[in-house]
A and B are shown apart, each in its own frame.
Chain A
Amino acid sequence: MKDALARKGIDGVTLLLLPAVFFVFALFIYPFLYGLFLSFAPKDGGWWLGNYAKFFSDPFLYDTIGKTLLVAVPVTIVNLACSVPVALRVRLMLKPKLLTTILVIPITLGTVLVAEGMLNYFGPRGWLNRFLMEFHLVSEPLHLIHNYWGVFLSLVITGFPFTFLLTLSYVTGIDPALEQAGAMLGARGWDRFRHILMPLLLPGLMITFCLSFVQAFSVFPSAVLLGAPAGITRVISVAAYTAAFEEYDYSMASAIAMIMATVQVGIVALLLGLQSLFYSGPAGGGKG
């Protein structure tokens, strides 16, 4: 019996997994299932799918999906598009530590602090607008907060370091000899990027896109602080918050959370499905 288990890789050490398994159940699986079942029990009784029917029949609710995607998708694309060239440049630097440190600082500040700073800096009487007015570059202050662009900028500032660090790790994973080999065969910069770097980076960029997207999709503090939480940036997490803490309808809030999860999982699954169409082996030079 003991031998049979040992052959399958199960022995005394396996018991060390138990605390982790307990926490996964207690902190992740149980609350998830609790929320799932709660979402099927509407607060005022009635049909078990009542919450979902309500969500998809009220434009004030179902529009939040579109509004969230309208923020999350462009932000993720912008972050990714900026990360790749910066990462390619940083890879060639001899001392990339300083630049990496500067780029990473926004992560450590947290969204709320960044939002506070942005309110002061981008506001109608903020430094940016004062500067632009002073030098007569604009005739009236730019509206950069309490609208779509406020949330957009905040997500770029807080999301870029995360996207950049992931991208950098994928970029540095590519053997520099491959690009040199391309150059020796006559490929110029753009050809090397298109034919060698890009195909090898693509699987990593897909993963980066998924993770950055999920982060941006669950935007909440900056949508409230820097956006127009009753209008264009009434994102799905705002709807869930309103249901839970203003209407005290936890069942409805759970349903919205489930819908939010489904949209995220759907998009991530779509991207990962696309990924199987591309090369996804090692990005090194074989037996080296």
Chain B
Amino acid sequence: MSLRNFKALRLDAMSRDFGSLNALKGITLNVERGEFIALLGPSGCGKSTALNCLAGLLPLSSGSIWLDDKRIDTLGPEGRGFGMVFQNYALFPHMSVRKNIGFGLRMQNRPKDEIARRVEEAMRLVRLTNQGDKLPGQLSGGQQQRVAIARAIVVEPPLVLMDEPLSNLDAKLRLEMRAEIRRIHASLGCATIYVTHDQDEALSLADRIVVLRDGQTRQIGTPAELYGRPAHSDVAEFMGYRNIIKTAAILGANLEVTIGGAKLWGTSVDITASGDALAAIRPEDLSVSSDGPISAIVQTAEYRGRDFFGVALTQDGTELYFRSERAVRQGEPIRLSAEPHRILVYAA
């Protein structure tokens, strides 16, 4: 089958129920050829369900999946020809690395010399040459990960699905493999859908990010859009805006909000009139300065190498996560400030 040269993958109101629980409530998404999409969300948001539905491991309850004008959600996993990297890698423990990688080609009944050549190529691509005869159990976690990736891409699938592939690795290896995944995607250019709960991973890898929550799409956008201007306060919270403060917004020539008793200017996201609102500020955008408008008392402070991150309590009892370039002590009174374009205001 030659689905490799497809133009677009289309999810049309893809839904999945488990009994009375709606795990996915109508996901609609277009994936262009060669695109890297991250499905991002907290655990239980339905992102793994979405991936399994795409893979064909779970049937849809309603909706459809299209590869150009071919409907594929009626096909089983073996009929779709997608590559998948599992969270625990799911390498066949009784097969050598070479046999594992060549499994998909063998299932396609390719000639032996072609299989050997393409397996070698794939092993070179994931930098695993000389490991071909080992069993998966003899490899480290990072190497197993590489085998899993090679096994998924060697059949040149139209789409590669990755289910939190880095979650079992230690922090250093995770960064390394992240760069590897980016390099492999750049050199192959196959469309990839990558499930993760780690916003850093999604931001650094993806062309577009789909934020899911409770089985629904909350926002679809480029990493820059999601980082700089989340469409909803819950997306903002998930994207690292740790300060979500209940406030009253006054819409005039400028948008005025009250934080910790102090009046500040903010940037409206979806404010159309004065009233109850939520202000979202990243800790790194709320910094200590001697003339800052907000006065607060330091509760805790942790050293982060270059700077300090801490929690401060304002007089009206608001907890604020902030950044400081100088050392701050517990109990110390400080003043905090934030730029107006760093304070995003959402209608409550």
Contact = CB atoms under 8 A, between A and B. Distances in A.
B39 to A, nearest CB: 17
Interface residues of B, number: 33
A285 interface: yes
A229 interface: no
B103 interface: yes
Contacts of B151: 181, 185
A12 interface: no
Given A281-B135, A287-B168, A186 B90 contact: no
Given A186-B81, A281-B94, A281-B137, A286 B88 contact: yes
B86 A199 contact: no
Contacts of A288: 87-89, 168
A285 B90 CA distance: 5
Contacts of A181: 84, 86, 90-92, 151
Contacts of A282: 93, 137
Given A284-B93, A287-B88, A187 B107 contact: yes
B57 A180 contact: yes
Nearest to A284: B93
B331 interface: no
A61 interface: no
Interface string B131-144: 00001110101001
A182 B77 CA distance: 9
A283 interface: yes
Interface string A174-200: 010110111111111001000110011
A181 B55 CA distance: 10
Contacts of B107: 185-187, 191
Contact of A286 (B83, B108, B136): B136
A180 B92 CA distance: 11
Contact of B55 (A184, A200, A284): A184
B93 A285 contact: yes
B78 interface: yes
A30 interface: no
B82 A184 contact: yes
A177 B78 contact: no
A279 interface: yes
B34 to A, nearest CB: 20
A184 B93 contact: no
B44 interface: no
A183 B77 contact: yes
B228 interface: no
B104 interface: yes
22 contacts: A177-B86, A180-B57, A181-B92, A182-B103, A183-B56, A183-B76, A184-B77, A184-B152, A185-B104, A186-B104, A187-B78, A195-B103, A199-B94, A279-B93, A279-B94, A282-B93, A283-B93, A285-B86, A285-B88, A287-B89, A288-B87, A288-B88
